[in-house]
């Protein structure tokens, strides 16, 4: 009954309810957004008032940004100056033999910027960078053999007994062999000076590795054990030696026991002899001279020991020498025991595989868009320019790691010849050049004892040149390596690696022929008169190193701000010689 009633009157029921719901919906629609709008309006009004009452920040921010920029510029200048000073104090920019030639020494003291045209000391009112080297013709003096080539000779001598491939350093290092009779241009002078600087700095780490390998460190006795000054133990990476001063009849002699600390067979040295310099006092005090102590024998096996046979004529202390202690021991390296056996190539402006397509840049005093005035390269005896391998840094000029397959092609210019051929032909040399630094890619090819590969890489990385090593490759050195006399190293016929000394092809034994003063009697001694090539070259690797050297420019003086008053410095009187009195000048009568 109720259901029928609802059906009958549903229109009127809905007519009464629907308006109520419509009113409620309208109230909700207008009430909710309205409150949100009002709330946002209040926030907007509040922020508008805050902005209207706040002070402008634009000027202050610009001032702060300006201060930050000045701080960064100042910091950059400090780093620039520190890096340049560090290289200068390390001797990177030392001139060849400037200390011997008075005029070159005076010119070096001026500390000119790289590429400066020179200075005339007779006219101090002119800008130093716009004058030429006219006084006493210093550029001509720089090219003299006693200054230029002799400096290269002394540079190469610091590496002994490490040798250079070919006929010696003239085959490996880039230098001018013919300056001609005229006066060289000032830009050629700077290029040749830079070549000398960088090559000298690249060879110093090699000499340092050799020096470190020759040193022995004193082994302190265990705690509670007294030190016996005349019986001590010394060691380095390869050897350990117990050495003592003993009495044999009327003589005082040195006795020793040598131990190989490595698991590799180690040769004692050329002519079957290890030579040690033994100091009995501090070499830094007075005029101390070392005693040459010789150990006879060919080799010591891994972890083996050798007790040298006592030879009175060799091991006795000279008359008049009364040692108080065994102070220092150092090995005299030779061509058999030196860690870095051979310098095969030194290349400047040589790019690694990553930068092989990069365009090299010239110094700033050579306009980039100027037409190249490069001379034709001279072919060397090796088939390539300047006598080097035909392509790539090498590892002997072969395809493979470090060769033309991965490295950049060698430059077309020669490393020896006239100034125009060598210097203008190699004027494109920088991977990057800025106001602060010149970055030059370089390449080295060395024959190294494999135990010292990391040593040479560390020394190069610590070089004052700030060398960044970008690529290295190495492989087993398999070519014959026959050590002869003391002549220059030269590659054997038909071989791309190794070197032979004087006497090649004359049947002389690999160890130099002479048997020293007799093999040792210890368990590690080997009585054979000659060693096979595999033992001579055992442990040697050919190491190719690519990198980028950073040569810093001299910092420029800080520009003077005209808005700031200049600082007044006390003017020091200039010392002057007394004016001479002319003979006909009138003199005042005495009072």
Exposure string over 113-131, b if 16+ CB within 10 A, otherwise e: ebbbbbbeeeeeeeebeeb
Question: What is the pLDDT at residue 38?
Answer: 73
Confidence grade of residue 185 (pLDDT, cut at 50, 70, 90): confident
Q: Which of 29-38, 417-426, 518-527 has the highest mean pLDDT?
A: 417-426
Residue 418's pLDDT is: 92
- Binning pLDDT at 50, 70 and 90, where does residue 46 land? confident
Do 229 and 186 share a domain, yes or no? no
pLDDT at 130 over 60: no
DSSP state of 311: -
Whole-number percent of the chain with pLDDT over 90: 39
Q: Are residues 371 and 418 in the same domain?
A: yes
564 vs 105, higher pLDDT: 105
Do the domain assignments include residue 230?
yes
pLDDT band at 235 (very low <50, low <70, confident <90, very high): very high
User: How many whole angstroms separate alpha carbon 346 and alpha carbon 207?
Assistant: 15
From the list 464, 469, 465, 415, the residue with the least C-alpha distance to 443 is 469
Higher-confidence residue of 121 and 448: namely 448
Average predicted confidence (pLDDT) for the chain: 76
Q: Which residues pair with 480 in a beta bridge?
A: none
State residue 315's pLDDT score.
Answer: 92
What's the pLDDT band for 523 if we cut at 50, 70, 90?
very low
The answer to whether the beta carbons of residues 302 and 265 sit under 8 Å apart is yes
Q: Which residues are within 8 A (CB) of 469 and not within 5 positions of it... i.e. 6 or more apart?
A: 457, 460, 461, 545, 546, 547
Q: Do 230 and 191 belong to one domain?
A: no
* Mean pLDDT, residues 123-140 taken together: 58
Question: Which residues make Cβ contacts (< 8 Å) with residue 317, sequence separation at least 6?
Answer: 245, 251, 252, 253, 254, 291, 323
Q: Is the residue at 465 inside a domain?
A: yes
Q: How far apart are CA 402 and CA 58, in angstroms?
A: 57
193-197, 374-378, 507-511 — most confident range: 193-197
Q: What is the mean pLDDT of residues 195-200?
A: 96
Lowest mean pLDDT among 286-290, 469-473, 501-505, 521-525: 501-505
Take residue 445 and report the two structure tokens written for it.
């090819």
d(CA 52, CA 303): 87
The reply to whether 141 falls in a domain is no
400 within 8 A of 392, measured Cβ to Cβ: no
Range 233-258 average pLDDT: 93
- CA–CA separation, 317 and 323 (whole Å): 9
Q: Please name the residues in contact with 517: beta carbons below 8 A apart, sequence gap of 6 or more.
A: 273, 294, 296, 311, 314
342 and 314 in a single domain? The answer is: no
Mean pLDDT of 518-537: 46
pLDDT above 90 for 342: yes
Q: Where are the beta strands (DSSP E) in 290-436?
A: 291-296, 299-300, 305-306, 328-332, 340-348, 432-433
In a domain, 58, yes or no: no
Q: How many domains does the chain have?
A: 3
Q: Which residue has the tokens 């010696």?
A: 168
Same domain membership, residue 246 and residue 188: no
Is the Cβ–Cβ distance between 419 and 179 less than 8 Å? Answer: yes
- Same domain? For 416 and 346 the reply is yes
Same domain, 263 and 386: no
Q: Note whether residue 166 is domain-resident.
A: yes
Q: Point out the domain boundary residue: 316, 332, 348.
A: 332
The DSSP 8-state label assigned to residue 354 in this structure reads G
Write out the two tokens for 371. Answer: 């037409």
Residue that the structure tokens 């002078």 belong to: 189
287 confidence band (pLDDT: 50, 70, 90):
confident
pLDDT score of 229: 93
Tell whether the model's pLDDT for residue 154 goes beyond 50.
yes
Residue-number span of the structural domain to which 439 is assigned:
149-202+338-552
pLDDT tier at 139 (50, 70, 90 boundaries)?
confident
CB atoms within 10 A of CB 309: 17
Q: What are the start-end ranges of the H helices in 90-185?
A: 102-109, 138-142, 149-157, 169-172
Distance separating alpha carbons of residues 332 and 322, to the nearest angstrom: 23
Could you count the other beta carbons within 10 Å of the beta carbon of residue 246?
13
- Residue 369 shares a structural domain with residue 511: yes
Tell me 581's DSSP state.
Answer: P
pLDDT number for residue 123: 57
Mean pLDDT of 351-376: 74
Least confident interval from 221-230, 302-311, 327-336, 566-575? 566-575
Share of the chain above pLDDT 70, in %: 68
Provide the pLDDT for residue 186: 80
pLDDT tops 70 at residue 117: yes
Specify the DSSP class assigned to residue 587.
Answer: -
d(CA 359, CA 429): 9
* pLDDT tens track for 455-513: 999 999 999 999 999 999 999 988 765 433 333 333 333 332 332 233 333 332 222 22
* Strand order from edge to edge, sheet including 239-248: 217-219, 231-235, 239-248, 251-260, 305-306
pTM over 0.75: no
107 occurs within a structural domain: no
Q: Is residue 471 part of a domain?
A: yes
Q: Where would I find the beta strands (DSSP E) of 130-287?
A: 163-164, 217-219, 231-235, 239-248, 251-260, 266-267, 273-279
Q: Are residues 256 and 359 in the same domain?
A: no
Q: Classify 508 as helix, strand or coil.
A: coil
Look at residues 287, 313, 332 and tell me which one is the last residue of a structural domain.
332
CB 233 within 8 A of CB 241: yes
Beta bridge partners of 551: 438
Confidence of residue 29 (pLDDT cuts 50, 70, 90): low
Rounded to 5 degrees, φ, ψ at 430 are: -110, 140
> Do 416 and 522 belong to one domain?
yes
Highest mean pLDDT among 123-132, 199-208, 481-490, 577-586: 199-208
Confidence of residue 58 (pLDDT cuts 50, 70, 90): low
Q: Which is higher by pLDDT, 173 or 54?
A: 173
Averaged pLDDT, 183-209: 92
Are 401 and 529 contained in the same domain? Answer: yes
Q: What is the pLDDT of residue 500?
A: 29
Q: Return the residue matching tokens 């960078």.
A: 129
Instruction: Give me the pLDDT at residue 543, please.
Output: 96
pLDDT at 249: 84
Of 104 and 308, more confident: 308
Q: With cut-offs at 50, 70 and 90, classify the pLDDT of residue 94.
A: confident
DSSP state of 244: E
Distance CA 276, CA 334 (A): 11
Task: Look at residue 116 and tell me if it is in a domain.
Answer: no
Same domain? For 471 and 342 the reply is yes
Residue where a domain terminates, one of 301, 332, 363: 332
């Amino acid at each position: 009954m109720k259901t029928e009633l609802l059906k009958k009157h549903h229109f009127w029921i809905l007519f009464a309810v629907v308006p109520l719901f419509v009113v409620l919906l309208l109230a909700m629609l207008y009430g909710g957004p309205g409150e949100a709008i009002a709330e946002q309006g209040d926030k907007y009004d509040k922020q508008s008032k805050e902005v209207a009452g706040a002070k402008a920040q634009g000027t202050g921010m610009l001032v702060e940004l300006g201060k930050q920029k000045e701080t960064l510029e100042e910091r950059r200048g400090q780093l620039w100056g520190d890096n340049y000073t560090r290289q200068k104090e390390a001797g990177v920019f030392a001139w060849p033999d400037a200390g011997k030639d008075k005029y070159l020494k005076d010119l070096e003291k001026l500390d000119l910027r790289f590429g400066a045209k020179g200075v005339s000391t007779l006219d101090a009112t002119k800008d130093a960078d716009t004058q030429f080297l006219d006084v006493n013709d210093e550029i001509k003096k720089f090219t003299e053999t006693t200054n230029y080539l002799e400096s290269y000779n002394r540079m190469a001598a610091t590496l002994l007994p490490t040798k250079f491939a070919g006929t010696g350093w003239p085959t490996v290092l880039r230098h001018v062999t013919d300056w001609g009779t005229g006066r060289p241009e000032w830009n050629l002078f700077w290029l040749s000076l830079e070549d000398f600087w960088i090559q000298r700095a690249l060879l110093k780490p090699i000499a340092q590795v050799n020096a470190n390998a020759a040193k022995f460190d004193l082994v302190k006795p265990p705690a509670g054990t007294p030190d016996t000054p005349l019986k001590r133990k010394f060691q380095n990476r390869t050897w350990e030696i117990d050495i003592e001063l003993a009495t044999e009849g009327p003589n005082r002699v040195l006795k020793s026991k040598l131990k190989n600390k490595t698991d590799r067979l180690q040769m004692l040295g050329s002519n079957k002899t290890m030579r040690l310099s033994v100091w009995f006092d501090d070499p830094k005090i007075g005029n101390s001279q070392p005693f040459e102590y010789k150990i006879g024998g060919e080799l010591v096996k891994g972890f083996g020991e050798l007790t040298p046979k006592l030879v009175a004529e060799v091991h006795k202390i000279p008359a008049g020498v009364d040692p108080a202690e065994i102070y220092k021991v150092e090995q005299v390296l030779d061509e058999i025991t030196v860690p870095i056996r051979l310098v095969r190539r030194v290349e400047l402006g040589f790019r690694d595989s990553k930068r092989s397509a990069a365009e090299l840049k010239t110094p700033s005093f050579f306009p980039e868009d100027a037409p190249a005035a490069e001379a034709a390269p001279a072919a060397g005896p090796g088939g390539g320019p300047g006598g080097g391998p035909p392509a790539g840094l090498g590892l002997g000029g072969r395809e493979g790691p470090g060769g033309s397959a991965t490295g950049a092609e060698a430059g077309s210019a020669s490393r020896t010849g006239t100034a125009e051929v060598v210097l203008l032909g190699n004027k494109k040399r920088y991977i990057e050049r800025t106001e602060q630094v010149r970055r030059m890619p370089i390449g080295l090819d060395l024959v190294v004892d494999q135990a010292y590969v990391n040593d040479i890489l560390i020394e190069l990385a610590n070089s004052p040149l700030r060398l960044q090593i970008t690529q290295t490759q190495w492989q087993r050195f398999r070519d014959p390596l026959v050590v002869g006399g003391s002549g220059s190293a030269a590659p054997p016929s038909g071989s791309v690696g190794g070197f032979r000394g004087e006497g090649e092809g004359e049947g002389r034994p690999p160890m130099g022929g002479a048997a020293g003063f007799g093999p040792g009697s210890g368990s590690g001694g080997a009585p054979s008169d000659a060693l096979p090539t595999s033992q001579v070259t055992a442990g040697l690797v050919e190491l190719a190193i690519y990198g980028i050297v950073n040569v810093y420019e001299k910092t420029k003086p800080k520009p003077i701000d005209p808005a700031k008053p200049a600082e007044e410095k006390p003017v020091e009187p200039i010392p002057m010689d007394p004016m001479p009195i002319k003979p006909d000048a009138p003199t005042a009568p005495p009072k």
